[in-house]
């Protein structure tokens, strides 16, 4: 064997060994990851021979059920686009998303708890079947949220949580899509610049604007740097920090900023005075602002029962990537952060969790969509128990912020959320996103004196918070409380 042939032989052996190694890795080590990939349509096809479990709302309304045809179970979604981003889809061509993916093992009967039931059932001649999934969502509340978003005519999202348990009562994203028409509409849905396949409630990141002042205020109060009665004097409607100007709200790009004169921190919260909160942020400092973001759960993925790639992490983003909370910022960026601008980005789910924590005496609960899992023998094999995620702030701080949030609705920027049926506590946000456009936020809970439901609403490309997000929040809260 000459030298060239010998080298070729050795190279072939090495390549063959590498090929065997890769095959072994994919077949053994990476097998589970491949099987769980939501785009693995071969697995979806195989599981279509199983009588897949039904997905139910809290009132037992069917959100996803089956149609048997040619020995295969095809999915049907009776409510069309109402819950499409949450429930997701199970499709032979395009795979799985939403709860159809995250709860797939239960729905197909391959989870350990369901396998036992199926084994016993098959011994007695019964058909193999998946478990049913009962959710926490309320179709009436979801309908109100979706209708209001659609009537508003702009993209946006609504999240409603049970204040004491963290259960998701509604999670609406507009625009939406009909999963029954997924294959027919696939090309159009993917080309649509408004992103109807996107769950804006958990996947979209938004500048929070003044709704972030909830976190800034928590830091200001708990550090002892300020009280609700701390005095400020706004003489010009703007403040210069290290040569950079921060303005109060301006009705138009060329209008003069509002001037508020002598006022308290509580006044500044009610009327969303940027110059005051820039000073608050400057004194509290970056370390404490970041600490309280983390106390409320930013920089961590919310522990909700959706696929991990459908839940974005809130925090500070640079060039499209989550930045380290330890990155050092200059004085100007800290001031901008304190008023909810700079590079802070949040999901509607995260802001609903902030409201939930304040309404629950500072205790932030783990949000969840799945109430229970019920096998084919109607036995509940799993029941979600409410669980605290973190103690964000102290109960007294939560009580103080609640009183300030009531003033926002009764006297300040949250006027659109006023109702003669219940006292709503809230915080608005007008987030500047460039090109003269704003995203309008309302974050709050009700009743203010005995909170039961927390809410976050965001409307993209809005006219104002008073005319866009706040009225939606009012309607949905009233629906969630059975007052509408």
Which pLDDT score is estimated for 34? 43
For the CA atoms of 303, 304, 305, 309, the dihedral, rounded to the nearest 10 degrees, stands at: -80
Which pLDDT score is estimated for 212? 98
Which pLDDT score is estimated for 45? 77
Copy the structure tokens of residue 140.
């009436």
Copy the structure tokens of residue 454.
């927390």
Q: What's the pLDDT tens digit per position in 306-350?
A: 999 999 999 999 999 999 999 999 999 999 999 999 999 999 999
Burial class of residue 325, CB neighbours in 10 A (0-12, 13-18, 19+): middle
CA pair distance 190, 194, nearest whole angstrom: 9
- CA–CA distances in Å: residue 77 to residues 51, 83, 159, 281: 15, 9, 21, 48
Catalytic option among 102, 173, 210, 314: 210
Which pLDDT score is estimated for 105? 95
For the CA atoms of 294, 295, 300, 302, the dihedral, rounded to the nearest 10 degrees, stands at: -150
User: What residues contact 433, with CB distance under 8 A and at least 6 apart?
Assistant: 207, 439
Which pLDDT score is estimated for 125? 61
Which pLDDT score is estimated for 467? 78
Among this protein's residues, is 210 annotated catalytic? yes
User: 258: part of which helix (H) or strand (E)?
Assistant: none
List per-residue pLDDT tens for the chain, 484 residues long: 566 666 666 666 666 666 666 655 555 554 454 445 555 566 777 888 899 999 999 999 999 999 999 989 999 999 999 999 999 999 999 999 999 999 999 999 998 888 777 667 666 666 778 999 999 999 999 999 999 999 999 999 999 999 999 999 999 999 999 999 999 999 999 999 999 999 999 999 999 999 999 999 999 999 999 999 999 999 999 999 988 999 998 756 667 888 999 999 999 999 999 999 999 999 999 999 999 999 999 999 999 999 999 999 999 999 999 999 999 999 999 999 999 999 999 999 999 999 999 999 999 999 999 999 999 889 999 999 999 999 999 999 999 999 999 999 999 999 999 999 999 999 999 998 877 788 999 999 999 999 999 999 999 999 876 779 999 999 999 999 999 8
pTM value > 0.85: yes
Question: Across the strands, what pairs with 380?
Answer: 374
CA pair distance 151, 129, nearest whole angstrom: 40
Copy the structure tokens of residue 330.
């200059």
Which pLDDT score is estimated for 31? 45
Copy the structure tokens of residue 221.
């109060």
């Amino acid at each position: 064997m000459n030298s060239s042939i010998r080298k070729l032989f050795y190279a072939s052996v090495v390549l063959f060994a590498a090929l065997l190694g890769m095959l072994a890795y994919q077949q053994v080590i990476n097998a589970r990851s491949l099987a769980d990939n939501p785009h693995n349509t071969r697995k979806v096809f195989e599981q279509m021979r199983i009588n897949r479990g039904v997905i139910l709302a809290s009132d037992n309304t069917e959100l996803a059920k089956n149609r048997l045809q040619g020995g295969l179970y095809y999915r049907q979604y009776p409510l069309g686009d109402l819950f499409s981003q949450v429930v997701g889809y199970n499709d032979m061509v395009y795979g799985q998303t939403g709860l159809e993916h995250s709860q797939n093992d239960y729905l197909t009967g391959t989870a350990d708890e369901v396998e036992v039931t199926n084994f016993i059932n098959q011994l007695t001649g019964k058909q193999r079947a998946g478990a049913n999934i009962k959710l926490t969502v309320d179709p009436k509340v979801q309908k109100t949220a979706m209708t209001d978003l659609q009537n508003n005519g702009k993209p946006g999202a609504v999240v409603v949580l049970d204040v004491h348990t963290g259960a998701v009562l509604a999670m609406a994203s507009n625009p939406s899509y009909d999963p029954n028409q997924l294959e027919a509409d696939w090309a159009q849905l993917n080309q649509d610049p408004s992103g109807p396949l996107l769950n804006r409630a958990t996947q979209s990141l938004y500048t929070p604007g003044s709704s972030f002042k909830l976190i800034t205020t928590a830091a200001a109060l708990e550090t002892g740097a300020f009280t609700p009665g701390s005095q400020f004097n706004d003489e010009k409607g703007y403040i210069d920090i290290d040569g950079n100007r921060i303005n109060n709200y301006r009705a138009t790009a060329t209008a003069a900023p509002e001037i508020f004169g002598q006022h308290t921190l509580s006044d500044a919260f009610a009327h969303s005075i940027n110059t005051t909160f820039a000073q608050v942020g400057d004194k509290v400092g970056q370390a404490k602002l970041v600490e309280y973001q983390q106390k409320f759960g930013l920089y961590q993925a919310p522990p909700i029962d959706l696929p991990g790639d459908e839940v974005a992490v809130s925090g500070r983003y640079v060039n499209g990537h989550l930045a380290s909370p330890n990155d050092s910022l200059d004085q100007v960026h800290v001031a901008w952060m304190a008023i909810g601008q700079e590079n802070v980005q949040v999901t509607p789910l995260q802001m609903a969790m902030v409201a939930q924590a304040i309404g629950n005496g500072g205790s932030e609960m783990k949000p969840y969509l799945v109430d229970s899992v019920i096998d084919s023998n109607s036995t509940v094999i799993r029941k979600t128990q409410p669980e605290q995620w973190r103690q964000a702030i102290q109960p007294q701080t939560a009580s103080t912020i609640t009183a300030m949030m009531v003033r926002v609705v009764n006297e300040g920027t949250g006027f659109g959320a006023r109702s003669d049926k219940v006292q709503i506590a809230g915080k608005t946000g007008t987030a500047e996103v460039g090109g003269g456009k704003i995203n309008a936020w309302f974050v709050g809970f009700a009743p203010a004196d005995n909170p039961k439901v927390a809410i976050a609403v965001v409307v993209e490309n809005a006219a104002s918070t008073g005319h866009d997000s706040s009225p939606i929040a009012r309607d949905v809260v009233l629906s969630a409380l059975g007052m509408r």
